[in-house]
Chains A and B, each alone.
Chain A
Amino acid sequence: MNSSQTQGSAPKRLTAVMNFFWHVPRNILIIVLKLYRRVVSPMYGQVCRFFPSCSAYALEAVTVHGAVKGSWFAMRRIVRCHPWNSGGIDHVPAPVHVNWDDPSTVPLIVQLNHPHVFLAKQQETQSRNSA
């Protein structure tokens, strides 16, 4: 995504446009999932046997891995989420290029799905600021 910074403004704009179209399917899915979490989820209350919940898992998977791979992960998770599975903690497989050092660059859903990691980060920055 950041490769465009090295070139002039024309190719930069071109990559930005290409990036935009490349991410259209992913962004549509993100919107659909966010709507689902806003509108449909509250209707049922919590039903999911896992942390993060299936919809949170799907949102993270699609955000991090893109439309195709993300949907595949999400589908496999939903199939796993049946009453005879004991549930528990089940995170989205992390992509290879994961960089969680700066929370401001990490999508909110990823932060929410890994609360312990980012709570620790929060405390670190707090103690650094006070010191």
Chain B
Amino acid sequence: MGFFDTILFPFKWLVSWIMVQFHDGLTFLGLDAASGVTWTLAIIGLVLVIRAALIPVFVKQIKAQRGMQALQPDMKKLQAKYKGKTDQLSRQAMGQEQMALYKEHGTNPFSACLPMLIQMPFFFSLFQVLSGVAKANADNVGIGAMTHDQVVQFDEATIFGARLSDALLPSLQGGNLTVAIAFLSIIMILAMIASQFITQKQIMSKNMSEEAMQGPFMKQQKMMLYVLPLVFGIGGVNFPIGVLIYWTTTNLWTMGQQFFVIRRMPTPGSPAYREYQKRREAKGLPLLGASKKKTEEEPEVIPEVKGQRSQPQRKNRKKK
């Protein structure tokens, strides 16, 4: 076993185990055990489990967004300090001070790297499970928690005439490309790209503050908006249909979450936020920023830390 296989082994086991559980459950409910539909639903079940496990992360992030109101005054000061300074070092310096500010207020709007990175081994494992099915069938072995019988069943299960482990380009190269594989792959690739694109576009056009939109990363991000569909299109022709299903489902989940965020707790200073405030006004509810300030002004007065905070940094700067 190679280095990556060793790392992926537990994930592979878990991925296949979750899928088998869903498959058995659905079979128990009366679905055909050998049907590709049942295995497709098992893959969707896997997505639901992984994304549901990440809900606490999402909730944490939403709560942090609310806390952002309290540090708006400090943030404004910081923005004024770096106004017009567009060189890379200054932007970085601003980023650093911003982080210090979040830390000081005990709130952080970002969701952290670990939850994002932890999804990757799951994805690679699924990829390995799906692309390894044909080989495991031939070698007479199981995969992870899947028994050999289940592997055979999975390998032979078809949805709309295509197997879940079929991929567009490898089938084409192998000379066994069918209309079903081509059709289903292309539909799924388009769905995957569309869901990704819409989510990204939504975030960029609605849920970014003006400062972020004028920030140094915006140009790059705008370019990626159009480059990524290309990358996924090229990558997608190599993906088994099962992986495409996984990816599209998880994208749709992200999209749903994003719609919720844009509607209910938009980033302060973004177009979505202004719409949100308008809706609140129309309903006669107090504006979010105004109502928060009054309650939080009193504890906020105490931190003379504000003045102190920038000082130790400056000393530090000179020391080095």
Residues of A within 8 A of B (CB): 39, 42-54, 78-79, 81-89, 100, 111-120, 122
Since A86-B108, A116-B313 are in contact, a sample of 15 more A-B pairs with Cβ atoms closer than 8 Å, ordered by chain A residue number, is: A42-B221, A43-B200, A44-B116, A47-B113, A49-B108, A50-B99, A51-B95, A53-B113, A54-B113, A78-B113, A86-B106, A87-B103, A113-B92, A116-B96, A116-B316
Residues of B within 8 A of A (CB): 56-57, 60-61, 88-90, 92-93, 95-96, 98-100, 102-103, 106, 108, 110-117, 200, 203, 217, 220-221, 223-224, 228, 231, 313-314, 316-318, 320
Q: How far is the CB of B272 from chain A (nearest CB, A)?
A: 15
- The interface residues of chain A lying within 8 Å CB-to-CB of B224 are 39, 42-43
**C-alpha gap A7/B38 in the complex (Å):** 71
Partner pick for B96 among A47, A51, A84, A100, CB 8 A cutoff: A51
- The interface residues of chain B lying within 8 Å CB-to-CB of A100 are 320
- The interface residues of chain B lying within 8 Å CB-to-CB of A47 are 110-113, 116
Contact assessment for B318 and A119 in the assembled complex, using a CB-CB cutoff below 8 Å: no
Q: How far is the CB of B65 from chain A (nearest CB, A)?
A: 13
Contact assessment for B100 and A88 in the assembled complex, using a CB-CB cutoff below 8 Å: yes
Q: How far is the CB of B154 from chain A (nearest CB, A)?
A: 30
Which of A81, A115, A122 counts the most chain B CB atoms within 10 A?
Answer: A115
**Interface SS majority for chain B:** helix
**C-alpha gap A100/B56 in the complex (Å):** 42
Q: How far is the CB of B79 from chain A (nearest CB, A)?
A: 16
Contact assessment for B100 and A83 in the assembled complex, using a CB-CB cutoff below 8 Å: no
Q: How far is the CB of B217 from chain A (nearest CB, A)?
A: 7
Residue of B nearest to A119 (CB): B89
Contact assessment for B228 and A48 in the assembled complex, using a CB-CB cutoff below 8 Å: no
- The interface residues of chain B lying within 8 Å CB-to-CB of A51 are 95-96, 98-100
**C-alpha gap A112/B96 in the complex (Å):** 10
- The interface residues of chain B lying within 8 Å CB-to-CB of A120 are 317-318
- The interface residues of chain A lying within 8 Å CB-to-CB of B61 are 83
**C-alpha gap A111/B99 in the complex (Å):** 17
- The interface residues of chain A lying within 8 Å CB-to-CB of B203 are 45
Report 26 cross-chain contacts, Cβ distance below 8 Å, ordered by A residue: A45-B221, A46-B110, A47-B111, A48-B110, A49-B110, A51-B95, A51-B96, A78-B117, A82-B112, A83-B56, A83-B60, A83-B111, A83-B112, A86-B102, A87-B108, A87-B110, A100-B320, A112-B89, A112-B92, A113-B92, A115-B89, A115-B90, A115-B95, A116-B313, A117-B317, A118-B89
